[in-house]
């Protein structure tokens, strides 16, 4: 029987097999590139493949039957659509657009290592500030309920038009509100967004911090191992640039 070349393992390369950690127990799980999710043998938790590659499924009309996944819900195909929606909400506000894209970049870096649902992570990162922009000056930031209603409405309207399952929409919306302190949500995806938003904001709390003090701030604030690694690297890079700047000024 002739198989689809995109799914025929005879044509695969070593990088088409990867590992991801179970977010519940930390067990390493081996994925083939076309496996959407697997059940952890240790704890039974279903783990999403963070490096799923649907290949020809992006255009093939038989992809649903072949892979048993809905292409409309594929994270990579949704990414561009949601970015366009986000840009429409911000309507030329480049600062908000750049921040959202920076959060997305960090979120993808963290999710690639930590795991989690790629669609949920990407959507929450892209849409996490749409309501704050729309409602600027209308809501009291201390009124969590107002913030929560606002976030859920705009993000939900955008997500629902793509026919996503209600559970996924609610998960994304709850992560967005959680990121701004409006609700108590603790999932792997919410921790990833928290770290990505913090990293993209270039926190002033790191200014002038060194050694153990810096390490303690990063450890106490960030919620994922990869997020802490990125923060440490960014801080080291910033310190190197500052040292070179000072050296150049003395030399001049």
pLDDT tens by residue, 205-225? 676 777 888 889 899 999 999
How many CB atoms sit inside 10 A of residue 147's CB?
22
Helix (H, G, I), strand (E, B) or coil at 29: strand
Q: Give the pLDDT of residue 13.
A: 73
The tens digit of pLDDT for each residue in 85-95 reads 999 999 888 99
Let me know: does 188 contact 178? Beta carbons within 8 Å: no
Q: Within a domain: residue 82? A: yes
Res 141 pLDDT > 90? no
Q: Give the pLDDT of residue 146.
A: 42
**What's the pLDDT band for 128 if we cut at 50, 70, 90?**
very high
My answer on whether 16 and 135 are in the same domain is: no
My answer on whether 65 and 80 are in the same domain is: no
d(CA 174, CA 189): 10
- Say what the alpha-carbon torsion angle 200, 205, 210, 213 is, to the nearest 10 degrees: -120
Q: Within a domain: residue 137? A: yes
Q: Give the pLDDT of residue 246.
A: 59
DSSP string, 202-231: --GGGTT--HHHHHHHHHHH--SHHHHHHH
My answer on whether 40 and 77 are in the same domain is: no
Indicate the length of the chain as a whole number.
252
Let me know: does 155 contact 132? Beta carbons within 8 Å: no
Q: Within a domain: residue 107? A: yes
Q: Give the pLDDT of residue 63.
A: 53
Query: 79 lies in which domain range?
Result: 73-201
Phi, psi (deg, nearest 5) at residue 39: -90, 125
My answer on whether 170 and 243 are in the same domain is: no
CATH number at residue 187: 1.10.3210.10
d(CA 109, CA 126): 14
My answer on whether 89 and 193 are in the same domain is: yes
Q: Give the pLDDT of residue 192.
A: 95
Rounded mean pLDDT of 49-64?
A: 56
My answer on whether 99 and 178 are in the same domain is: yes
d(CA 48, CA 21): 10
Nearest to 118 by CA among 129, 107, 127, 103: 107
Higher pLDDT, 38 or 192: 192
Q: Within a domain: residue 165? A: yes
My answer on whether 108 and 158 are in the same domain is: yes
Let me know: does 51 contact 32? Beta carbons within 8 Å: no
My answer on whether 188 and 216 are in the same domain is: no
Q: Within a domain: residue 1? A: no
My answer on whether 106 and 184 are in the same domain is: yes
- Where is the domain boundary, 52, 69, 86? 69
Q: Within a domain: residue 213? A: yes
Nearest to 128 by CA among 222, 201, 52: 201
My answer on whether 161 and 91 are in the same domain is: yes
d(CA 133, CA 115): 29
Percent of the chain with pLDDT over 70: 66
d(CA 81, CA 65): 24
Let me know: does 108 contact 122? Beta carbons within 8 Å: yes
My answer on whether 107 and 223 are in the same domain is: no
Task: Give the pTM.
Answer: 0.65
Percent of the chain with pLDDT over 90: 25
My answer on whether 103 and 137 are in the same domain is: yes
Helix (H, G, I), strand (E, B) or coil at 137: coil
Rounded mean pLDDT of 150-162?
A: 79
User: Measured in Å, how far apart are the chain's first and last C-alpha atoms?
Assistant: 73
- Where is the domain boundary, 51, 69, 87? 69
Q: What is the average pLDDT value for the chain, to the nearest integer?
A: 76
- How many domains in the chain? 3
């Amino acid at each position: 029987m002739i198989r689809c070349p995109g799914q025929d393992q005879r044509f695969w390369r070593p990088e088409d097999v990867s590992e991801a950690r179970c977010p519940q127990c930390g067990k390493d799980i081996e994925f083939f590139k076309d496996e959407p999710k697997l059940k952890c043998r240790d704890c039974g938790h279903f783990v999403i493949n963070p490096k799923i590659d649907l290949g020809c499924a992006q255009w093939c009309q038989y992809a649903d039957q072949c892979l048993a996944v809905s292409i409309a819900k594929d994270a990579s195909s949704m990414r561009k659509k949601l970015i366009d929606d986000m840009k429409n909400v911000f309507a030329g506000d480049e600062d908000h657009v750049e921040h959202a894209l920076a959060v997305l970049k960090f979120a993808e870096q963290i999710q690639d290592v930590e795991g989690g649902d790629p669609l949920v992570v990407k959507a929450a990162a892209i849409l996490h500030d749409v309501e704050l922009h729309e409602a600027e000056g209308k809501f009291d930031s201390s009124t969590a309920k107002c913030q929560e209603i606002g976030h859920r409405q705009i993000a939900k309207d955008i997500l629902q038009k793509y026919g996503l399952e209600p559970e996924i929409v609610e998960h994304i919306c709850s992560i967005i509100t959680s990121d701004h302190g409006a609700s108590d949500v603790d999932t792997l995806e919410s921790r990833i967004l928290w770290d990505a938003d913090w990293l993209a904001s270039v926190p002033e709390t790191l200014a002038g911090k060194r050694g153990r003090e810096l390490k303690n701030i990063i450890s106490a604030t960030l919620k994922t191992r990869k997020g802490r690694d990125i923060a440490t690297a960014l801080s080291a890079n910033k310190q190197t640039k500052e040292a070179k700047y000072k050296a150049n000024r003395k030399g001049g």
